[in-house]
Amino acid sequence: MSWRKCKLCQAFYDDKAYYARKGLCFKCMSKLEEIYNRVHEYLRTHEITSFNNEAIAREVNAAPKDIEDLFNLGFLERDIKTYSNIKTERQELAEKFRREINIMTRQKKVTTYGGFLYGR
């Protein structure tokens, strides 16, 4: 068994663990994953024009250093377009789906399973 030193808290941990590929101990990895979920949800649901670690940390109730660690370890990207496009891509897919449903209903080719079995 070999040991590694955590990049964040300097504690030693087994390097065969699943979280070792990021160079973090289990405690730090768990903490960052939990913060990542909150930050990602915040970025996905709010329009943001520029990243500000302090502002994001305040909104998600985390330390600014933890937000910076997420960027440095590659959990998050500093490119705003990455997060703003998530919403627009979803909206485009929803619009495309609505258009296809409208076309299908106008053509009257929509048949339910029951209509197929017992239809006229």
* pLDDT at site 73: 84
User: Does pLDDT of 87 surpass 70?
Assistant: no
Q: For residue 55, which phi and psi values (nearest 5 degrees)?
A: -65, -45
Q: Is 52 helix (H, G, I), strand (E, B) or coil?
A: coil
* pLDDT at site 61: 92
CB atoms within 10 A of CB 40: 16
Residue 22: is it exposed, middle or buried by C-beta count within 10 angstroms (0-12/13-18/19+)? middle
- For the segment 11-39, the average pLDDT, to the nearest whole number, is 80
- Counting residues of the chain whose pLDDT is more than 70, the rounded percentage is 76
Q: Which residues pair with 26 in a beta bridge?
A: none
* pLDDT at site 35: 92
* pLDDT at site 92: 82
pTM (2 d.p.): 0.59
- C-alpha 70/C-alpha 91 separation (Å) is 28
- C-alpha 97/C-alpha 107 separation (Å) is 16
- Residue ranges of domains in the chain: 25-78, 84-120
**HSE-CB of 98 using CA atoms within 13 angstroms:** 6
